[in-house]
Structure 1
Amino acid sequence: MVTAGSASSETATPITPPEPGVALRGNRSFRAYWADEAVTLAGTSVHGIALPVVAVLELDASPSQVSLLAAAETVPAFVLALPAGVAGDRCPKKRIMIGTDLAAAAVVAVVPVCWAAEVQSVPVLYAVAPLLGALTVLHQAASIAIVPEIVDRSHMHPANARIAGAFSLADMTGTYGGTLVVGLVGAVRAPWGNAASYLISAWCASRIRPSSRVRQQAAVRPGGVVVAIREGVGYVMRDPIQRPLVLSLAGHAYADGIVTTYVAYTLLTRLDSGSTGLGLVMGVTAAGGLAGAVLATRLVDRYGPARVMLAGFLAYALCGVPLLVARPGPVWLGVIALAGAVRTAAAVAAGTTQRSLRQQLCPPELRSRAQQTSVWLVTGVRPAAALSAGGIAAGVSVHAALLVGTALYLVPAGLLWSSPVRRLPAMPTPAPTPAHAPAKDDVHVR
């Protein structure tokens, strides 16, 4: 799924904004970009249905193997986050997007090819997962950074809104499409559809025509990048508002990593949902994101950011209970799906609120580094969470891992409650930039 704050912390020289005055509807490059990202995410959703079905039902993967597979998918996001950002700044972004799409199509095709050759195994999935994860990191680093090169500054906000809406919609439709594909052709052949989506995405990316370029100036002194990273991390860890926000996100990611490791496994085994039931739960869960995106601003205006974030974290924890007590049957699958939609809506509302809060409070010259500190921490705890889930499942049971993860969902709410964030009655309003002194990063403060 696309996030804000991926810009490099190095000095950039902005050139004239692209296609000034052109509405998004008439911006061909933006339409191509929108289609590229939506098709990619829809294909990834198909893969998200097929891979656990192949591992659990076709290859009889054990709980520990499922845990290792989940860890393999998340490690590249942590290891390659910063290098991918450098690559996205120094290399043509359009070329990176096309190259990663083509490479991803080849990687996902390995699963059906190996099955046809009768050499499919769990270790093959161990190889596919991190490779696809690495390509996804590189693609996102370029695709996020290319938006200012294809959209006029006056249209940046509506562009990002449309992108976020497209992602939620593509995630939902891709999940249902993945369920249909898996049901019609089987889990081992379904990755062909994902490969086709990457090829279509590459063609869409080739239609993008960036009309401006941002040239990065390399650091002069050795170790300058390290010093800049330390400055960003130090700011986040010292600030009384940024610190609890970022740590609550990291804590939530750790708890969620434990639970999500065995959600599909539990649905397929203990609850006997089958691939159709799994797809139904995932699709309804994704649909909640649309509601959260629509309601977030209204909720903050009425109740304030602190209450929205606290309520979001608490609702997320409570909505994990049905999975713990469910029994096989369609009624319980419906309850789990509905709870999943509510928890996704809560997560989106709380997530967009904290992101906006951090961006408005952070000094302009530190925004990118502060955001990357959050990304680094969140992605760093996910592999540890998957391995922790495997350890708990091996030592006790899968149900015990789900119980521990659900209980840990309450930790982020406790962090925010005990911090100054709890006393924020409304979103802060940044001071306007004087007309005679443009902002340092040449961006208008709204």
Structure 2
Amino acid sequence: MLWPLVKSNTALSLAMTAWDVLYLIYVVRELHWSPVALAVVMGCASVGGVVGALAGRRLARPRGRWWGVGPLLLSALALQPLILLPVLFAGPGLLWQIVIGGCVTVRFAGATAHGSTQRSVRQGVCEPQYQGRQQSIGTWLTFGPRFLSALGAGVLVSAIGLVPSMAVAAVATAGGFVVLLHSPVRRLRIMPTTSGG
């Protein structure tokens, strides 16, 4: 369970880092957002995070065949590339700022529900004496190479342009979903526990 979760998190983290770097350039340079508009829309991320944190635990409870921990994790990951697509077609103006604010809210709700749930799974399957080690290794593998992703995004923009690079980053966010789809995590319905915890 641990290795697919860490690989999935790493794939998503790398893609989202590339997206976030390009997104900020896009809304400022191409959509001509003011600093206030950008701040308000980015504030939507906090709202989404709170919603995801509150809803994640309830959504992870098994309810029939299609609900539970694994389906929540897969649904949250599947949501990521889909919610980025409207941004690629955005234009200037208040309407698009509202649409993108909604997308940011949903994206962070899904990301927070996913993050807290996968962390709970990792803690549940790991013996207590290895909790710190699995957390530090997972964090290092997930966040350590992000600078390479930001650098790669810059190189990609130089090669194919800003919007096509954003499309590549959006599609790449599906990598985390693909990893979990082909792992035992997808069949997980209830939160696991170790014999020692």
**TM-score, normalised with respect to structure 2:** 0.94
Name the structure 2 match of 1:159: none
**How is 1:295-334 mapped onto 2 (pairs within 5 angstroms)?**
295-302=55-62, 303-334=67-98
Q: Is 2:135 aligned against 1:371?
A: yes
Deviations 1:4-55 (A, max 9, x none): xxxxxxxxxxxxxxxxxxxxxxxxxxxxxxxxxxxxxxxxxxxxxxxxxxxx
| Inter-partner Cα distance in structure 2 for 1:424 and 1:252 | 20
The one-letter amino acid paired with 2:15 is A
Shift in Å, 1:265: 1.2
Shift in Å, 1:316: 1.5
Shift in Å, 1:286: 1.9
**How is 1:32-43 mapped onto 2 (pairs within 5 angstroms)?**
none
Matched-pair contact (CA < 8 Å) for 1:267–1:274: no
The one-letter amino acid paired with 2:79 is A
Name the structure 2 match of 1:21: none
Shift in Å, 1:430: 3.6
Name the structure 2 match of 1:252: 12
Q: Secondary structure at the match of 1:429?
A: coil
Deviations 1:83-113 (A, max 9, x none): xxxxxxxxxxxxxxxxxxxxxxxxxxxxxxx
Name the structure 2 match of 1:423: 187
| Inter-partner Cα distance in structure 2 for 1:249 and 1:269 | 30
Match of 2:167 among 403, 409, 414: 403
Name the structure 2 match of 1:380: 144
Shift in Å, 1:429: 3.5
Q: Secondary structure at the match of 1:326?
A: coil
Matched-pair contact (CA < 8 Å) for 1:253–1:381: no
**How is 1:117-132 mapped onto 2 (pairs within 5 angstroms)?**
none
Name the structure 2 match of 1:341: 105
Match of 2:32 among 272, 282, 285: 272
Structure 1 residue ranges, 4+ long, deviating more than 2 angstroms after superposition? none
Shift in Å, 1:279: 0.8
The one-letter amino acid paired with 1:246 is V
| Inter-partner Cα distance in structure 2 for 1:379 and 1:412 | 14
Where in structure 2 are there 5+ consecutive unaligned residues?
Answer: none
| Inter-partner Cα distance in structure 2 for 1:428 and 1:374 | 18
Name the structure 2 match of 1:362: 126
**How is 1:192-231 mapped onto 2 (pairs within 5 angstroms)?**
none
**How is 1:127-138 mapped onto 2 (pairs within 5 angstroms)?**
none
Q: How many residues align?
A: 193
Deviations 1:220-253 (A, max 9, x none): xxxxxxxxxxxxxxxxxxxxx1110000000001
| Inter-partner Cα distance in structure 2 for 1:310 and 1:278 | 29
The one-letter amino acid paired with 1:262 is L
| Inter-partner Cα distance in structure 2 for 1:399 and 1:338 | 20
Q: Secondary structure at the match of 2:193?
A: coil
| Inter-partner Cα distance in structure 1 for 2:189 and 2:44 | 33
The one-letter amino acid paired with 1:314 is A
Deviations 1:232-283 (A, max 9, x none): xxxxxxxxx1110000000001100110012221111111111111011101
Q: Secondary structure at the match of 2:30?
A: coil
Matched-pair contact (CA < 8 Å) for 2:73–2:117: yes
Shift in Å, 1:388: 0.6
Q: Secondary structure at the match of 2:192?
A: coil
**TM-score, normalised with respect to structure 1:** 0.42
Where in structure 1 are there 5+ consecutive unaligned residues?
Answer: 1-240, 434-444
Q: Secondary structure at the match of 2:7?
A: helix
The one-letter amino acid paired with 2:39 is G
Q: Percent identity?
A: 32
**How is 1:33-72 mapped onto 2 (pairs within 5 angstroms)?**
none
Aligned-residue RMSD, C-alpha: 1.1
The one-letter amino acid paired with 1:290 is V
Name the structure 2 match of 1:220: none
Rg comparison, structure with higher value: 1
Higher relative contact order, chain-length normalized (CA < 8 Å, sep 6+): 2
The one-letter amino acid paired with 1:348 is T
| Inter-partner Cα distance in structure 1 for 2:176 and 2:72 | 13
Matched-pair contact (CA < 8 Å) for 1:285–1:338: no
Q: Secondary structure at the match of 2:144?
A: helix
The one-letter amino acid paired with 1:352 is S
Shift in Å, 1:285: 2.0
| Inter-partner Cα distance in structure 2 for 1:407 and 1:381 | 19
